[in-house]
Each structure stands twice: as C-alpha cells, then as structure tokens.
Chains A and B, each alone.
Chain A
Amino acid sequence: MTSDTAAHPDSAPQAERFSPLHQAHVDAGANFTDFAGWQMPVRYSSDLAEHHAVRTSAGIFDLSHMAEIVISGPEAGAYLDYALAGKLSAIDLLQAKYSLILNRAGGIIDDVVVYRTAENEYLVIANAGNRFPAFEALSARAARFDVTVTDTSDDVALIAVQGPNSRAILEATADLTVDGDLPALKYYRALGGTFQAGTVLVARTGYTGEDGFELYVDVSDAAALWDALCAAGASFHLVPAGLASRDTLRLEAGMPLYGHELSTSTYPAQAGLGRVVNLGKEVDFIGREASEEGPSAEARVLVGLASAGKRAGRADYLVYRSADATVSDGVITSGALSPTLGHPIAMAYVAPGLARSGTEVFVDVRGTRVPATVTALPFYKRQK
C-alpha cells in the first residue's frame, strides 16, 4: 500500500462531457463538479438535506457518467469467469453480482457490477474514471473466446432512486412498466421493462446503504424518465441528490470507492474483498496466481475509524499508533463528519497490528492528533 491508493482516477485530461440530463440539473439549480471528465451535480441545494432525504424518504441520482460494457456471445459466461474475479457463469438470468477486474499482479483495475441480461449476454457496469482501462482489459481478455465486447456507455443513461420510498415512487411513475413483481424483487436482482416506447432495465441495487433501484435507459429516453420519476416522487419527498451526498452515503454504508479505497496496487484481500475473488472456481482467471499468494503479512488492511467531536480526518491524512509516534502506521482513504451518526467516520488502510476492532489510534488532522477507534464496517446499516 502506498499513498497512490488515494489518487483520483479522474485526473486524466479529456474533453468536458455532459450528462443527457444536464439541462434538468441546471433547471433544478445544481452546482456542478468535474468527475472523470464529466460535469455532474455535486449538490442541488444542501448535501446534508440530500443525504438525510435518502435515509428517510428518497433521493434521485444521475449516474449517466458510469460505463456500460456489453458482453455477448456463446462463451460469454466462460469468458467472464476468466476475465473477472468472480464466477459470473453461475448467476441467474437478471441476477446482478459485484465483481472485480484484476490485473495479473492481483491488483484491482476496477470494481464492477455485472448483470446477466440474457442466457449469453451480460452487462458490466464500470466506474466512469475507469471506462477505458476496464474496456481495454475486457477486450484484451476476449481474444480466445467466442464473445463480443461492446462499450455502450455513450448510449446508456443511468438513474438511481434510493431510499425507503423508492419502491412506491417507481410504482407511481407514469409510463413505467416492469415485467414482473417489483415488490418481490430481491436485492441484486433486476427486471426488464418499458418506459414509454423504450426499454428499461430496473435493478434493485445501489450505493447508499438503503433500499433502492437503478434504472438503465437509452440516453434519448433519460430526460423524460427523470421527469416522470421526479413527478411521481413529489408526493413521496423525493429530492434530486448530488455526488456529495452519494459519497457520504456510501461511506456510512462502508462501500469502497475506486481511487480511494481501491487501486491497481491494492489487493482485494486488503480491502476486505477477499470473498469477491472466487478461488474455488475450477478455471484459471486473470489475477488468480497472485490472489492465491495474497498480499504480504505486513500489508495494510482497510478498517473503519470512528471518533468523537466534529473534526473529521479526510483522505490522505495519516494514522498513528500513538499521540507521539513519529512514523505513521496508516492513511485515511475517505473521511467525513457522518451526517447520520453525527461524528467523524473514515475508512483507512492501517498496519495489520492495528486492525482489530476497538484499537485506539490517532489521526493527524492538520497538525493535531485526534483519537479514533477502529470500528467494524459498515458504520450504518438500515433497519429492515
């Protein structure tokens, strides 16, 4: 682990891009931020209010910057078993699975969600900042399989509705029909459907720690779907929510963010993602050999940190084993004052000797050593 785990993946210079929903965000008064070359809403009015809305009612997010890569062909399942860390051939039709694209050294090129959209077709959702590395890796790995790897990111928009009211909002949305029983839809399962004349994929997935849905639609239908969801959401306290609240929501839920907790020099086992690497697979896969060996015994591991007061440790702040230690034993990768819990929380990579829950450590917050306690992730879990 080096400090480059905290480097942002979105630093490569490229032309500024706009979501197909950009005008809706402008009309809603959004503030924008650059994310992986995209101008995306960081907040509409208050990131705290947007955060709380997702925890208590619902929020709607534009995630159209994310990448959609389609894998199709008779060997799609076998190919993904080779290209990714998990066993994707084993998932059901319309099931989703969280997985990793590893490099040969066992590091993480990207973390992805994979949907099986047909018997021989899968949809891989990659991070916006990793669109091209992910596509390149997936394309290169396809050579000896009868599959086609297609980057459809420019054609597909993604809208997430998250929060306890999200199901009611989808059910109330005009012209949205799902092919199946929405209330019975399980977490990490999806349904096909239609919105107006177009098709839509409705998945019970998310990145907030709440119940919620993610809807994949053609970019030409995105604005109308956004408007229809917002109209239906008006009576369910739905608010548009930006990337600032998405970040604090996922942090509370203990979910890693590529470029912060994950990088090409991070092993899954360090990040608590050992279970995502399926060493029980009977086939070889990229990164298998390195994963079997695993990180060294001294490799830092990802933990949660909680502290009292209001001063939050943030990404790149160093972690020490004592108030006067001169050499650091860890580094924060994400941190904020938790809006839900009211105290600072962080994710950090620390020396294995400090990883046990309850261990007291110190975070250097701009020159002051602030005590923190190693805490099991997630920080927040919704009541079911």
Chain B
Amino acid sequence: MAEQSELQYTAEHEWVLVDGATATVGITAYAADKLGDVVFVELPAVGSDVASGTVVGEIESTKSVGELFAPITGTVTETNDAVVDSPELVNGDPFGAGWLIKVSFAELPPLLSYAEYSALIGE
C-alpha cells in the first residue's frame, strides 16, 4: 500500500489511491479511531454505479454508524470481502488490508492532498 502522504482524501474521511482509471477507497485512521471498534461493514455490490458524494455503504462500530460516501463517480469493480468477514481490519490497518472498494472512473473530482487533509483533522 501507498504511503499516507501519497494518497488523496475527502472531507468525509475517506482516502483514495488512484491507479490509472481505478481508485481504491478506504476510511482514514482518524475516522476509524473516531468510530471505535468496527463490527459491521456493508459495501455496494460489484458492478453497481456510484455517484460522487452519495452514501454507498455503512461502517458500524459498537457505538455508532458511519456512512461510506463514494468519493468518485464510477462503477464498483471490486469490494474487500476480507473486511466484510473481519471488520476489525478497518481499525487494524485502515490504509492497507482495511481498504473497502475499488471504483473505475472516467474523471477524477477534486480531492484533498495529504497536507490539506492533515490540516482538516488538525494534525
């Protein structure tokens, strides 16, 4: 997995790793930490179309429910079955094994840089 400094981010605390016309999406360590222990993850179906800024999944902890927003408009090409079976991966390795979905896209919307996201969360 890429270094955090090489990822792009959204204000909804997702990270995006762009590789050609495919983006891998997860939630940040900051978001995972705020949620607490993740116990259930619901992801969109492979093949479904997602629109940037809409809710496409849920990440539940013991205490609360977090929504997964699509950071990008496109088609879901892959979801992380491992994280559905073992939701604790979101806490344990949010930038790696805890990735959530891969989306093929035609156009990349404006995203936050590492510096911008770090400023957003006050770090």
Contact = CB atoms under 8 A, between A and B. Distances in A.
Interface of A: 31, 42-43, 46-49, 51, 244, 247-248, 310-312, 314, 336-337, 339, 366
Interface stretch (B13-21, B36-44, B75-83, B101-109): B36-44
Given A46-B91, A337-B60, A366 B40 contact: no
A31 B36 CA distance: 10
A-B pairs with lowest CB-CB distance, top 5: A310-B40, A48-B37, A337-B39, A47-B36, A244-B63
Contact of A48 (B40, B42, B62, B65): B62
A310 B85 CA distance: 11
Q: Which of B40, B58, B63 has the most CB of A within 10 A?
A: B63
Interface in B47-74: 58, 60-63, 65
A247 B63 CA distance: 9
B101 to A, nearest CB: 19
A43 B38 CA distance: 13
A7 to B, nearest CB: 17
A47 B65 contact: no
Contacts of A48: 37, 39, 62
B33 interface: yes
A366 B62 contact: no
Given A46-B91, A47-B36, 14 more contacts: A31-B33, A42-B63, A47-B62, A244-B36, A248-B62, A310-B39, A310-B60, A311-B60, A314-B65, A337-B39, A337-B40, A337-B60, A337-B62, A366-B65
A305 B62 CA distance: 16
B62 A244 contact: yes
A18 to B, nearest CB: 20
A contact patch SS: mixed
24 contacts: A31-B33, A42-B63, A46-B36, A47-B36, A47-B61, A47-B62, A48-B39, A48-B62, A51-B62, A244-B62, A244-B63, A310-B39, A310-B40, A310-B60, A311-B42, A311-B60, A314-B65, A336-B63, A337-B39, A337-B60, A337-B62, A339-B62, A366-B58, A366-B65
B34 to A, nearest CB: 8
Contacts of A311: 40, 42, 60
Interface residues of B, number: 13
A42 B36 CA distance: 9
A337 B42 CA distance: 15
Given A31-B33, A42-B36, A244-B36, A47 B63 contact: yes
Interface string B24-42: 0000000001001101101
A355 B18 CA distance: 53
A248 B63 CA distance: 9
Contacts of A310: 39-40, 60
A121 B39 CA distance: 46
Given A31-B33, A46-B91, A336 B40 contact: no
Contacts of B58: 366
Contacts of B63: 42, 47, 244, 247, 336
Residue of A49, A248, A337 ringed by the most chain B CB atoms within 10 A: A337
A310 B39 CA distance: 8
B40 A43 contact: no
B53 to A, nearest CB: 18
Contacts of A31: 33
A47 B37 contact: yes
Contacts of A366: 58, 65
Contacts of A247: 63
Contacts of B91: 46
Contacts of A314: 65
A248 B62 CA distance: 8
Nearest to A248: B62
